[in-house]
Amino acid sequence: MNSTKIKNILLEADYSEIKRVFKEAKTVKQSTLGHDIYLRGLIELSNICTKDCLYCGIRKSNHSVNRYLMTKDEIIASAMFAFEKGFGSIVLQSGERDDENFVGFIENIVEEINYLTSQQLRITLSLGEQTTETYKRWFNSGAHRYLLRIETSNESLYNKIHPTNHSYGNRVNCLSVLKEIGFQLGTGVMIGLPYQTITDLVNDILFFKEMDIDMIGMGPFIEHSHTPLFGQPVYIANSHSQLLELSLKMIAATRIFLPKINIAATTALQALDPLGREKGINAGANVIMPNISPPQYREDYLLYEDKPCVNDLANDCFDCVIKRIEFTGQKVALFSSGDSLTFTSKKGNIT
Ligand code: SAH
Ligand code: SF4
């Protein structure tokens, strides 16, 4: 599959042809990875952020946000909930901080979770841009996956959606460093950003291949009224339903182009449609990331508005996720690490 085929998928307007492409992508997923869907328990451990991305609801200049940092005990309790339920893997995500207090806090928590679970719970970090030394410390403490979205592979668009002191070059460099250290590497983009074009999205998928990415977490851009990008012109989708369809086409095209990769059906899909994540699975995704953060913190971690599951308890989310996945004809792979096949099939990588 080349860039023309990717572009054709993204531009396809005929409903029956779109349905056929989604089916093709799901078939590719099933024949490459089977019927399994992997769970990652998402722990949003802090909304304190030193950065000011123009799209994000918890950017540092949004003074209406009530800032929090979960305690070590709370984070560990959430991780143990995931472990006992059979999630197989968790994602520790937060706003970006690079101070020693924070770096050491994460290092210590990762070590403790590994100790308490005899290293049977895979830990993904999603904590933004850090120095090589910090990434190495976190890797050595026992985190083996890292999720850092490139947001868009178009440098000039990247510059439009970030303040001038954020650097595209540094973001790409971080991805290379993470790979070099040995992390299973995740990235992704936002779909339907102001000024974004279909060609940008095609290039995003080519970027995933070029960077030898193992996991993809991409989803629709959803405006937040307390951010500078609110109300900026979006060229490639005029409504929530168009944005959902385009996001699903991105999942399908990525699955067909990169069959072995892990692709998440992200929560933002569900913000556009109550069945958004199931539709993601039906378009070729194989990972779901239920939010298992304690309920009292959820409404303070609003990257975008109308985020779903904000009022749910972790247990309710778990039960509803299992039912929702079965509804797609797939099965939840409990107690499975769910490593990316792109990663495990490389010589020398141990699962
Ligand atoms: N601070 C870390 C992780 C938390 S943000 C980081 O930036 O990498 C996680 C992701 O949320 C970002 O990568 C971005 O793609 C997504 N995000 C932020 N604001 C969003 C919005 N308004 N709509 C959709 N996704 C958004
Ligand atoms: Fe901070 Fe991440 Fe939001 Fe940027 S996207 S403002 S780094 S939390």
Count: domains in the chain = 1
Q: The CATH number of the domain where 80 resides is what?
A: 3.20.20.70
| In-domain check, residue 349 | no
First vs last Cα of the chain: how many Å apart? 29
Give the pLDDT confidence of 50-100 residue by residue, as tens digits. 999 999 999 999 999 999 999 999 999 999 999 999 999 999 999 999 999
Give the pLDDT confidence of 190-213 residue by residue, as tens digits. 999 999 999 999 999 999 999 999
Position of tokens 């141990």? 350
Q: Which atom of ligand 1 is nearest to the CA of 49?
A: 1
| In-domain check, residue 350 | no
Q: 58 CB under 6 A from ligand 1?
A: no
How many residues in total does the chain contain?
Answer: 351
CB atoms within 10 A of CB 303: 20
Question: To test ligand 1's pocket by mutation, which of 190, 250, 302 has the most ligand atoms within 8 angstroms of CB?
Answer: 190
Q: What's the pLDDT score for residue 351?
A: 46
SS3 320: helix
| In-domain check, residue 351 | no
Q: Which domain holds residue 48?
A: 3-343
Ligand 1 atom 19: the closest Cα is on which residue?
A: 56
Comparison of pLDDT for 72 and 274, the residue scoring more: 72
Question: To test ligand 1's pocket by mutation, which of 187, 196, 303, 304 has the most ligand atoms within 8 angstroms of CB?
Answer: 303
| In-domain check, residue 264 | yes
Q: Which atom of ligand 2 is nearest to the CA of 151?
A: 5
Strand 190-191 and strand 215-220: the pairing is: parallel
Q: Which atom of ligand 2 is nearest to the CA of 95?
A: 8
Q: Are 159 and 169 in contact (CB under 8 A)?
A: no
| In-domain check, residue 119 | yes
Q: Are 121 and 81 in contact (CB under 8 A)?
A: no
Question: To test ligand 2's pocket by mutation, which of 54, 93, 96, 98 has the most ligand atoms within 8 angstroms of CB?
Answer: 96
- Burial of residue 299 (number of CB atoms within 10 Å: 0-12, 13-18, 19+): exposed
Query: Would you report the helix, strand and coil content of the chain in percent, each value rounded to 5?
Result: 45, 15, 45
Give the pLDDT confidence of 289-328 residue by residue, as tens digits. 988 999 899 889 988 887 776 655 556 667 777 888 888 8
